[in-house]
Amino acid sequence: MLRGFATISFWADDLEAAKDWYAELLGVQPYFSVPGPDGRAGYYEFRVGDYRHELGLIDNRFRPGGADPRPGGAVMFWHVDDLEAAVERLLSMGAALHEKITERGEGTGFATASVVDPFGNILGVMTNPHYLEVRLLYRSDAADE
């Protein structure tokens, strides 16, 4: 039934500031945008990472159930090669620590951390050896075609 991650949506009161912040973090501009009914930007979308997953930024005025200023909900963890450097960069860009770097089983190679971006969204980062294994398998499969 579930075939793969397609898009994660983050919300922001100041959509333009969120777009600029994520463009700086990711090193790319959004590839897609949709205006709201009033003509102002309502949605921006970035392609992120090895599999070009989608990170969508949506104006809070379109949040289901209305705007909620508290960080919350599910945490999507993005694999990073250097967890400590990733957390340091996020904090230097104005994110607030949500959960410190935490090993998830001694010696397993799994570790997570999360921050709250300046717009109230929780952004998770992790080191994940399974991600790297799947990435190698994906590259191997693609080479066989």
Strands 41-48 and 32-35: antiparallel
Looking at residues 30-44, what average pLDDT do you find?
Answer: 94
Residue with the larger pLDDT of the pair 140 and 137: 137
* Tens of pLDDT, residues 93-105: 999 999 999 999 8
pLDDT band at 141 (very low <50, low <70, confident <90, very high): low
Token duo for residue 118: 């300046």
Of 36-40, 66-70, 75-79, which gets the smallest average pLDDT? Answer: 66-70
pLDDT of amino acid 67: 64
